[in-house]
Amino acid sequence: MIWWRNRANYRWYALGLLAAINILNYLDRNVIFALFGPIKRDLGLTDAQLGWLGSAYIIVFSLAALPAGVLSDLRSRRAVIAGGVAVWSAFTFFSGLARTFGQLFVARAAVGVGEAAYGPASQSLVSDYFPGDRRALAMGILASGVALGGVLGIWLGGILEEQYGWRVAFMAVAFPGFLFAVLAARLVDPTRAPTKVSVRDSLRQIEIGVTAVLRQFWPLLTAGVLAGATAWYLAERMGADSALDVAVAGLIIGLGLALNIVIWSRALRHQPPAVTAFGHEVSGAFDGMLMAIRLVLRTPTLGYLFVAGAMISFGMNGLVGWGPTYLSREMGLSAGESARLFGTWGLIAGTAGTVTGGYVADWLRGSRWLARAPGSSRVLTVAFGVVVGGILTVILLNVRDLRLFGPIFTTAFFFLTWYNGPIAAALFDVVPARIGATVMGAYLLFIHLAGDAIALPLVGWLSDLFGLRRAVLVLPIVAVLGGVVTLFATRTIAFDIGRASSRPTGNFPALP
């Protein structure tokens, strides 16, 4: 701790490193979208199979986020981050070696596991590095990798594929991750003592085993098997397109998740306080997950932010996914022109908006107008950015003049990306620091399964019925409604912040 106090600037180095890793995170995540064409040609895949290659990552990432968050809170966050980076880099590299659809599907799914480990742990670590007025700005800087890495993944993937082929593209973007994993393993945790981490001991102490996983997740696992079988039948025997089989599979998995949550909620009612209440012992990973769910259900601010986050994710990721196609089909641009317009201005506006949103939220937090309402600055910034950006997007989707389209698009995307840093800061504001990563894992699981996993196939279905121009309008409208939902949190966040700061953090299993 003395070492930490003597190096106040170290937290900025740590934030810079974690932000750089997050850029690589989204780069490795999105690179496959630039490679769909040659992959389809070389492996002889159908569009339905290409759709599953994209869905494999989203579904596995969502499901793995909550357990990864629990692991981060029970054990070493830096070890989870380093391990996650190493795993996703290794399987990105292995993606270039795939010879069949099955091999590539497994590799992309495993990339989701590694990146799920990184998300909750890195955000929890940054929230402890910046506990005060600069938390939202720090979260915004960390989240800038969403826009920067996402666009770079598509650009760099296309350039590498054109020069060297899609296999080399996967391998090339994987290599920096191994260096970043080494650097992440050497990070100093600002709130936890340095320890040596044994994978075997960690798995034993947090009680993760095949029997325990089957007992706790049988509805979700059953739904996963049923979803896969149904999607295969629809695609191979019924000739359904990729949008339909992905949508049906997502619905089945969502029902399985809902049943799992109902079972966990009932279990909470019968759990003795010794394993669920703050200040008492949490005996293992599944107790930690139940405690996180209980906290979400009993903290109104978290409920509002979870629902709003899913609606914003629905709109934002749906717009990113369908944006290039919309520009090509509705604006008459070529694929290259669409990529340049969407990529160049989206990159600039997205990066600037993410950082600006964090700065504005922290500036408002220190203003005299909101001095008596701690935390309100976060949710007000989220609501303002999403509502303004969403309204501008609705206007944008009715513009046909390219001279107007570019400026309106840039302004809309700038405001839409304000939410990244403030909403993450607000989540960490209302939970005890010791279980922050667990709650963030639950948040990521919820918003992706209830948000973008539904948005992409739903817009495709609506497009078949009404045309793409009308179908995409649902995206900004849902996002604006999400911004409105966020406003309800202004009534509860001050109380929830006070309650979180007064709670003991809990006695988690001791580190060896």
Q: Which residue, of 144, 160, 189, is where some domain finishes?
A: 189
Sequence-distant (≥ 6) Cβ neighbours of residue 16 within 8 angstroms? none
Locate tokens 């795993």: which residue? 87
Residues 275 and 308 in one domain: no
Residues 351 and 498 in one domain: yes
Is residue 395 domain-resident? yes
Residues 224 and 109 in one domain: no
Domain containing 364 — which CATH number? Answer: 1.20.1250.20
Other residues' Cβ atoms within 10 Å of the Cβ of residue 268: 15
Taking a C-beta distance cutoff of 8 angstroms, is the pair 428, 501 a contact? no
Joined together, the tokens standing for residue 71 give 């692991």
pLDDT in tens, 264-294: 656 555 554 433 333 334 444 455 555 666 6
Please tell me the predicted confidence (pLDDT) of residue 280. 38
Joined together, the tokens standing for residue 223 give 């739904």
Q: Return left, alpha or beta for 375; rule: phi > 0 is left, psi -120 to 50 is alpha, else beta.
A: left
Locate tokens 């191994």: which residue? 178
Is residue 369 domain-resident? yes
Counting as low any pLDDT under 70, the low residues of the chain are: 1-8, 46-51, 54-55, 72-75, 132-133, 192-217, 235-247, 249-251, 253-254, 257-258, 260-297, 321, 324-325, 334-340, 342-343, 366-374, 433-434, 456, 501-512
pTM for the model: 0.71
Residues 362 and 466 in one domain: yes
Query: What angle separates helix 36-43 from helix 47-74, to the nearest 10 degrees?
Result: 120
Residues 395 and 266 in one domain: no
Is residue 357 domain-resident? yes
Please tell me the predicted confidence (pLDDT) of residue 265. 55
SS3 315: helix
Distance CA(440)–CA(423), nearest Å, equals 11
Residues 231 and 157 in one domain: no
Is residue 294 domain-resident? no
Is residue 57 domain-resident? yes
Taking a C-beta distance cutoff of 8 angstroms, is the pair 153, 27 a contact? yes
Residues 69 and 28 in one domain: yes
Task: Note down the domain range covering 236.
Answer: 208-282
Q: Which residue, of 221, 252, 282, is where some domain finishes?
A: 282
Residues 234 and 314 in one domain: no
Query: What angle separates helix 474-487 from helix 453-466, to the nearest 10 degrees?
Result: 140
Residues 421 and 340 in one domain: yes
Residues 27 and 53 in one domain: yes
Q: Which ranges of 372-452 does DSSP label H, i.e. alpha helix?
A: 376-396, 402-416, 420-429, 436-447
Distance CA(379)–CA(373), nearest Å, equals 11
Is residue 512 domain-resident? no
Distance CA(291)–CA(307), nearest Å, equals 19
* Domain total in the chain: 3
Residues 264 and 148 in one domain: no
Is residue 151 domain-resident? yes
* Distance, CA of 189 to chain centre: 22
Closest CA to 397 of 511, 512, 461, 315: 315
Is residue 396 domain-resident? yes
Q: Which residue, of 254, 282, 310, is where some domain finishes?
A: 282
Please tell me the predicted confidence (pLDDT) of residue 507. 38
Distance CA(83)–CA(60), nearest Å, equals 17
Residues 366 and 240 in one domain: no
